[in-house]
A and B are shown apart, each in its own frame.
Chain A
Amino acid sequence: MNTFTVARKELNSYFRSPIAYGVMAFFALIAGYFFYVAVVFFVRRGMESAMMGQSFPMDMGEMIIRPLFSNISVIGLFLIPMITMRLFAEEKRTGTIELLLTSPISDLEIILGKWLGAMVLYMAMLAISALSLSVLFVYGHPDWKPILVGYLGLLLQGGCLLAIGTFISNCTKNQIVAGVAGFAIMLLLWVLDWASSFGTTVADKVISYLSVLQHFDTFSRGVLDTKDIVFYLSVIFVGLFLTARSMESLRWRA
């Protein structure tokens, strides 16, 4: 109950400040551009094959939807630090954290509430891309099940990046520091995946396993793999758990 009260307050703050609109506008622009490029490419391939009298198999899923999901998951890396940077840093700077911590609600409710508020903004952002995808349904018959799986993957991936961002925001009272550190760490989690392309030792495999983006690959193909779901859920848990610890230590230190 308190969790939802905090989440509602968070969401309210997002939409009262330019953050929500900035993030959503930027996302709409970039995601829209990627969608446009993919569609143009698809149409040109279709026309070319028609002119040459051949008929290549034209797969909307493989040629438009999958690259779009991969691109969206990368855009998330850039935008999520902007969503999470203020969560705790702002409250610590203005002192409103004292209100939350002296109210009869638990740390867990505060953390979950904030994470949930950020999650809802992230979902609103993803909803914009659904508008583009719905165009495909007007002109064709793409399979809707892989699309749902793709969105589930985006939600899980976003959830775990938001959890990490929440933790980072709890470590500082400077929003900019939280934003930059969050961005650096998310970038790192992305490029970890490249380690596997250079080597095949166990260490490379472990490092590559930790890459958040690598686990999204199955979802973008429309495949539900419990291994990846478990990975995302555990990262969400670890991120929120670290936030709780960091809040506890904040109390004991200062």
Chain B
Amino acid sequence: MIKVEGLTKRYARKIAVDNISFEVEKGQIVGFLGPNGAGKTTTMRVLTCFLPPTAGKASVAGFDVLEQPLEVKRRIGYLPETPPVYPEMEVHEYLEFVGRIKGVPKEQLAKRIAEVSEACAVSDVRKTLIGKLSKGYRQRVGLAQAIIHNPDVLILDEPTAGLDPHQIIETRDLIKGLAARGDHTIILSTHILPEVEQTCERVIIIAKGKLVAMDTVANLTSRLRGAETVAVEVVAGESEAAAVQRKLEQVAGVSRVLANQHREGKLSFTVESLEGRTIRPGLARAVIESGWNLNELHAVGLSLEEIFLQLTASPEDAKQEEAIAAAAAPVGESQ
């Protein structure tokens, strides 16, 4: 559906996007991930024909963004970072205007406005001036605007930025709802990682204009995680901390045990396994058989956050982070 080949965008002094290539299949929902200023917005602007690429090709549904921009624009719904709404218009007037310029046939317009207002939960503010709406509502009006012409491709630039937690959940559900219907291909950019884990099937990570990784969330997680990490919490006095730690270290398959902060009567550890070993049953048995009570035992998955940091950090950054971590965590916080 979307094909990007060797895309480069250069501004006067700086390269915003450097030779990026990727493809997105029809019906997929893809997270576009990267720190601020990584080139996410620029890539999206090229895809929406707002900016021409300096080099390389980009096409949507087989139409090139430079050769046939009108055909591309017809098939794209775009929500920029700040919703492009006119504060002096009422919600339904705005949707009508957008529907017209997006080429929705006149006889279907009223029906489409009703549908998207319903889908984006803005029916109750139809007659309200957009300028009087809250940020969350404006974002939803922006989303309604993006889907009014039922585009094949939806491009959403940080759809949850600046919303409160409640609104973030609503917006995410809305996007998931759109994706579930299966007729939209969705690209959404964000620098918030849980968002990608929760909404996207595939992730494209870019940093400093370069493509760093592109895979499914599950693959990325397992690719970077050879060994298992387990958090263990044992009910025991602090005097027994050393004994517990020794016991855990003796379990087969354990590579190392790190003591975390102990809270009154509870000792917590982070246990790492050797490559490809399952250690949780062994750990449980070891604790119980030694007469302590096991309070908690769970596998700590490598979160996307860690993957992201590993992939996007340059070597100097990593060194700096280690130095900071060493200075800040004298109790041996696990990494």
Interface residues of A (CB under 8 A from B): 2, 5-6, 9, 12-13, 16-17, 94-106, 251-254
Q: Which residues of A contact B48 (CB under 8 A)?
A: 98, 102
- Bound together, the chains give a CA A104 to CA B102 distance in angstroms of 6
* A-B Cβ contacts below 8 A, count: 70
Known: A13-B89, A95-B84, A99-B80. 9 other contacts (CB 8 A): A2-B100, A9-B97, A94-B87, A95-B82, A104-B74, A104-B102, A251-B50, A251-B51, A251-B52
Binary CB contact string for chain B from 72 to 113 against chain A (1 if under 8 A, 0 otherwise)? 011010101110111111000100011011110000000000
Interface residues of B (CB under 8 A from A): 11-12, 45, 48-52, 70-71, 73-74, 76, 78, 80-82, 84-89, 93, 97-98, 100-103, 145
Closest to B48 in A: A102
A99 in contact with B74 (CB, 8 Å): no
- Bound together, the chains give a CA A13 to CA B87 distance in angstroms of 9
Closest to A96 in B: B84
Q: Which of A13, A94, A102 contacts B49 (CB 8 A)?
A: A102
Q: Which residues of B contact A9 (CB under 8 A)?
A: 86, 89, 97
Q: Which residues of A contact B145 (CB under 8 A)?
A: 99
Q: Which residues of A contact B78 (CB under 8 A)?
A: 98-99, 102
- Bound together, the chains give a CA A102 to CA B45 distance in angstroms of 9
Q: How close is A249's CB to chain B, nearest CB, in angstroms?
A: 11
B70 in contact with A99 (CB, 8 Å): no
A95 in contact with B73 (CB, 8 Å): no
- Bound together, the chains give a CA A98 to CA B11 distance in angstroms of 18
- Bound together, the chains give a CA A251 to CA B101 distance in angstroms of 20
- Bound together, the chains give a CA A251 to CA B49 distance in angstroms of 9
B102 in contact with A96 (CB, 8 Å): no
A254 in contact with B11 (CB, 8 Å): yes
A16 in contact with B89 (CB, 8 Å): yes
B97 in contact with A17 (CB, 8 Å): no
